[in-house]
A and B are shown apart, each in its own frame.
Chain A
Amino acid sequence: MPEFENFNVKTTIDCKQGAVRAVRYNVDGTYCLSCGSDKKIKLWNPASGLLLKTYGGHADEVTDAAGSCDSSFIVSASLDKSIIYWDVSTGAPVRRLRSHAGGVRCVCFNEDSSIAISGGRDNAVMCWDIRTRRLDPVQVMKEARDCITTVATNENRIYAASLDGCVRTYDIRVGELTCDKVGEPITYLAQTLDEQCLVAGCQDSVVRLLDCETGGLLSEYRGHRGDDYHIECGILSNDAHIVTGSSDGDAFVYDLLEGKVLQRIRISDNGGVVHSLATHPKRQEMLFARRRDMYVFSTDLQIEEEQL
């Protein structure tokens, strides 16, 4: 059990792209992406707060983005019902994929970034083969009864969280769809690194830890306020702490086992909803999005290490 150290603000970046809808790390956490309501995606260096590139081409707010495993491509989802596959270095949209009947809420890459998975307001999860030039989705899963809020994947499974209160696990290996009904609309879903559990942020201001194998409810984390926002949650790289945003401008770090609040990170005194966050894939570092700003938080130790 690793010791918990308090997080401190490291960098604050004014993204200057309207409200920041989502913040994401790239695969190794050296860069980060911010999706703005001004239809643009920006690539940053979170350590220095340096803007590296801006990707413009969407016709509506960008809701989610993900970087490929080699960090050479970005896939982004937008409310304009399309998914764009970007070339990181040139900043040009390589492919624009349209099949969703509603705004696309979330997008992710599979492990080798050959498949992009997207979920949208049309209750559909779509798998896109982005290696080929095919513009139709490889597979469409329309089992969900409400808007898909998050898609996640690992080696052999696709997870889709929906506002209908279910987490659907599409097991490709077994050829089986497992629907775990939580009963509360799920606003965000994160996988633990050991892929044993899922962290589901629910609409009723509770983050729930679900067991992948049995579908049981392992733990509940209360303390933050969700209200009606799509508050995201995440799990830190040590797999011991769960972090979630809150509608009152704070972020909460919970202990995974005990479920108690370890730290209430005061991100801003001016309120504003901390709705999006990203956890660093390796370090104890987090990104938060609040209003127009992006915040980088990390433990002191990490900074020292960096500096050393």
Chain B
Amino acid sequence: MDEEEHLHRFGTPLPALQKDVVPAKKPVAIEDQIVRDENGKRRFHGAFTGGFSAGFWNTVGSQEGWTPQTFKSSRGERASSKAQLKPEDFMDQEDLGEFGIAPQGIRTRDEFANEDEQQQRSGQRRRKLMQPELGVGAIPGLPVLEQLLRPVRDKVAVRILKSMGWKPGQGVGPRQTRKEKRKATARNSKEQYLLEHYGAEGLPSHKETKGEEDSNTEDEDDEDITFAPDDYEPIFYTPKENRFGMSYSGLNRDPILSKSSSSAKPMQHINLFDEMEAQANKKQLSIRGQAFGVGAFEEEDEDIYARDDMTRYDFSLADKKPKQKKQQHVQQRHVIDGFSEENSAAVLQKPYAIDLPRDFLPRNWLQRRSRFAPMDKDRAKKLEAASEYKRSGLGRHDLNPDQRAQLLGEQKKEEKTAEEQPKRNPFKDRGKSLLERINARTEGFTKGGVITENGEEQQTELAKEVKEANAAIQEKAALKTKDLPSAMNSSGFKPFLADEAKQLRYEKFVSSKLTDDKEVTEFLARMQPVTLSLWDREMEKKEFIQAAKIYRPLVGLMNDRFVSEANVQAEKVKEQEKPPEERKIVMERTKTMWKPTALLCKRYNIAEPFGGAMLEPEKELKAKAKISVFDYLETSVNTKANFETPSIFPKHIEKLTPKEVEKPPSPPPAPPPEAEIQDKPNKPNTKEEPSKPTFVPKTALEQAVDESRNKPISEKVELFKSIFEDSDEEETEPSEEDKLAILQESFGLPLTTTTSAAAQNVLRNTSPPRGIFASLFSPKKKDTEKEPATSKFAPIEGNKLKIAYKPLSERLRNDRELAMAEVAPEDIYGPKLPTAPPQKPAAPEIRAETNIDARLQQLWQQHAPKKRKAEKWVEKKCISDSEDSDASSSDASSSSDSSAGKDKRSKLSKPTKSHKSTSSKKSKKSKLKYKKKSKKSEKSKHKAKKKKSKH
């Protein structure tokens, strides 16, 4: 036991073997061992990349195994064709070790290693070892061969510098303190900047002050620490060899596809051997494009501007280079051994002075680096101080007298002319050629009349004229450009310079600042000369107002356009506070007919008004089975006329309703009052425009009707008069000429008022009368021919076309000619036309004739078929009834025989009307009758005469 206690045990003891249990487990065979990843899973490498047995025992991807290479290539990242393999990739670990063939470890770089080290590394050590000891050999000192064989790494100069303690990256020069170095850095950067931007010129002469101060305060204690100076690019001054502008290089005259600029400069020597050389060193051919002319697959065109010259060619195969080599060997005295003189021979050319533009200002380096960089505080202060006087208003001293004059609104040119005019030599002008004067004038034009101080010739008379003519333009231009207080002067604008008096008036008008139209008129009337016509005055006023509007100073314009928000709000508040205007409510009551439907009455338990005999106002609407939305479009609201005068229509009806209301609802036999009501207001409409429901007055008569609507009936006499006079004329006009005369006398109306009626009457037969009618109505033609001298001629049927647009004299002549011409009597129907036109319309003969006509018609009426009475002229009756009552009073006084005439008229009214409306067929039928009667007419003339005289 003791022994056991003293024993030291390492590791974990195996479980004690039990006697009866046979160790069942065999150690796991290597091939059975499975590599698992960190998660305990078996690695699987895809079916085609190894599966469960990738690599040696599926070690691929594990720490022990190798990583399979992946190949990835995309359009953006092309896979390199071959991985760059270094020799090290194929080396063993020990090769890379310290003592291997490619040792890897930290060591000093070649540049910093001393010679021994380098020699050691470069394997020269062995050589050295093999070499005899220093000074041991035949030749004392450093072995020459070694020195010679030393590989050249640096230039001599660099090596010298290095030996002097210089290191790459440092500048050359004595070591500096921090202060000094900072200063130098600043200077260098400044110089660099200037060099970049302006070349060598404009280097600052004075030193930076601020940097010094800073460094003084900061780093006084750092005096003993020194730094190597900074390295910087030295400034190279390249002489300008041409006289082009700065930084301008002329067009490159090389052919575009030339291989190099040097080989084929246009006027350079052509080396015939060049091609061979090119083949020899077979350079990589760089593709250079050409913008125009030569495509990728075509050859370059010949340079047509290139001149070929024999001097460019060699005439022998001799090479010239060896000569130069010979020269190299010539001993150069002024050169240290091992050096050679540069033979590129930069010939110093004469430097040309560069003409800078006159107003060229180099950018001030002192202000700021770029316009975005913040300005130096000190400098900013200084600049501010410098411009202080400007801000305090003392900048006016910088202005020249002209500018000052402009500011003060002085009239520079006027003064000038006043001053200079006496000085001017009149002979000088006279001596000038015409061309010069024209030139002066054109100058005046081009410069808008602005006079320059030195341009004396512009003071010529012509220039002055031009100036005056352009005054308005000048002023406008001045306003636009200046926008100075002077523009607000009343004298600033002279839109009416041409007329001095007018201009004066305008100025007064402007200064008065009147706005009210009436006031302006009065104001101007006081000033305007008496001779000015009313129209001119009005025009002037308009002009002035317009001019004042247009030529207002800008401030005024702006004031008009913009209002401060506070103002607007204040106005709003004011508006709100203002008590709403107490409108006087005037109640208006209008009454119209309205027919309640039977069902409504029934439901209201009321008997239908008038026993349901009321006229239905909207039948067409009733007719529709369904009420459509479009019905509402036709409501009264939608017509414009109703919007304008909404109260007219009901009012108009109301006037008539009292009649109806007063009357007790009469039983059916009596004419229904509604009918009358409906008819009455419509009467004028049906008469004149039966088809149109909207009433737009067209003629004087219609207007009269419209106006008189609102008047009481007593005042409507005039209207009725005009209506019925009209119809009277219609009746009489075709038949009797004496009646016309009478009518003229009685009504004092020109006959031609019939025009409107004739034009309006749609039913009237407008076709020219034919056959017997033509002759029947022809006397009228003569009549109208004479009469129109005082009035418009009436477009009466038949002769409308003939007399239409001929002057009176011509017509007379034509008539005479017609009369002179022998017309076969067979060609004329009816009575013979009177040869001489009746001079007096009241001539008894003609009257008799027309009377006969009237009688004829009367007769015709009697024989006329009954059918005609059914024609639609019912309302005529009404009119004539009312007319009799209304118009008789007015007529009675004027004409003695009015009653008789009226009788006739009323009798005649029907036949004439019907005659007019009858178709041509009917007239044909009655033609024969007429013929017979016309013959009788001669006899009946006398009878008519007698009748007249009796009255």
Contacts and interface: CB of A to CB of B under 8 A. Distances in A.
B592 A177 contact: yes
B596 interface: yes
A181 B588 contact: yes
A133 to B, nearest CB: 14
Interface string B571-603: 000000000100101111111111111011101
A156 interface: yes
A141 B635 CA distance: 11
B593 A183 contact: no
Given A99-B627, A129-B599, A175-B596, A180 B589 contact: yes
B614 interface: yes
Interface stretch (A56-64, A119-127, A241-249): A119-127
A70 interface: no
Interface stretch (B417-425, B604-612, B845-853): B604-612
Interface string A252-280: 00000000000000000000000000000
Contacts of A208: 585
Given A155-B604, A172-B606, A145 B637 contact: yes
A215 interface: yes
B637 A177 contact: no
B646 interface: yes
Nearest to A182: B585
B647 interface: yes
A217 interface: yes
A83 interface: no
Given A123-B635, A180-B589, A181-B590, A175 B604 contact: no
Nearest to B635: A142
B629 interface: yes
A175 B595 contact: yes
A179 interface: yes
Given A138-B599, A145-B636, A215 B646 contact: no
Contacts of A122: 632
Given A145-B637, A177-B594, A183-B585, A110 B647 contact: no
Given A145-B646, A172-B606, A175-B614, A138 B600 contact: yes
Contacts of B592: 143, 176-177, 179
A115 B585 contact: no
A239 interface: no
A271 B465 CA distance: 77
B590 A175 contact: no
B211 interface: no
Given A114-B603, A124-B632, A145-B637, A178 B596 contact: no
Interface string A210-245: 100011110010000000000000000000000000
A308 interface: no
Most buried by A among B585, B588, B594, B609: B594
A80 interface: no
B609 A110 contact: no
A209 to B, nearest CB: 11
Interface centre among A115, A175, A177, A180 (most CB of B within 10 A): A175
Nearest to B621: A140
Nearest to A183: B585
A176 B583 CA distance: 29
A204 interface: yes
A189 to B, nearest CB: 15
A156 B604 contact: yes
A115 B603 contact: yes
Interface string A165-185: 000001111111111111110
Contact of B627 (A136, A177, A214): A136
B650 interface: yes
A48 interface: no
Given A101-B632, A145-B637, A216 B587 contact: yes
Nearest to A113: B603
B603 A138 contact: yes
Most buried by A among B593, B604, B635: B604
A217 to B, nearest CB: 5
A110 B606 CA distance: 13
Contacts of B606: 156, 172-173
Contact of B585 (A101, A139, A217): A217
B89 to A, nearest CB: 85
A129 B647 CA distance: 32
Contacts of A112: 603, 605
Given A139-B600, A172-B604, A175-B596, A101 B591 contact: no
Do most interface residues of chain A lie in helix, strand or loop, or is the interface mixed? Answer: loop
A68 to B, nearest CB: 13
Contacts of A174: 609
Residue among B588, B600, B607, B657 with max Cβ neighbours from chain A (10 Å): B600
A215 B587 CA distance: 7
Interface residues of B, number: 41
A183 B586 contact: yes
Nearest to B607: A173
Contacts of A124: 632
A139 B587 contact: no
Contacts of A177: 591-594
Contacts of A115: 600, 603-604
Nearest to B629: A101
A171 B650 CA distance: 16
Contact of A214 (B589, B604, B657): B589
A170 B596 CA distance: 8
A172 B585 contact: no
Given A138-B603, A181-B588, A175 B593 contact: yes
Interface string B646-657: 110010000001
Given A101-B632, A181-B647, A183-B585, A176 B591 contact: yes
B588 A127 contact: no
Contacts of A137: 627
B503 to A, nearest CB: 53
A172 B596 CA distance: 6
Interface string B886-904: 0000000000000000000
A45 B870 CA distance: 72
A126 to B, nearest CB: 9
A180 B588 contact: yes
B913 to A, nearest CB: 37
B587 A180 contact: yes
A35 to B, nearest CB: 25
Contacts of B594: 141, 170-171, 175-177
Contacts of A131: 603
B631 to A, nearest CB: 8
A110 B635 CA distance: 26
B587 A204 contact: no
B609 A129 contact: no
Contacts of B661: 176
Contacts of A183: 583, 585-586, 588
B603 A110 contact: yes
Q: Tell me which of A136, A139, A220 has the highest count of chain B C-beta atoms within 10 A of its own C-beta.
A: A139
A274 to B, nearest CB: 21
A184 B585 contact: yes
Given A123-B635, A140-B627, A172-B596, A210 B587 contact: yes
A128 B642 CA distance: 28
Given A176-B592, A183-B583, 13 more contacts: A112-B603, A115-B600, A115-B603, A129-B603, A139-B596, A142-B636, A176-B594, A179-B588, A180-B588, A180-B589, A181-B590, A183-B585, A183-B588
For the complex of A and B, the 8 pairs showing the least CB-CB separation, nearest first, are A175-B609, A215-B589, A177-B594, A181-B588, A172-B596, A114-B603, A139-B597, A115-B603
Interface of A: 99, 101, 110, 112, 114-115, 122-124, 127, 129, 131, 136-143, 145-146, 155-156, 164, 170-184, 204-205, 208, 210, 214-217, 220
5 contacts: A139-B597, A145-B637, A173-B609, A183-B583, A215-B587
Interface of B: 580, 583, 585-597, 599-601, 603-610, 614, 626-627, 629, 631-632, 635-637, 642, 646-647, 650, 657, 661
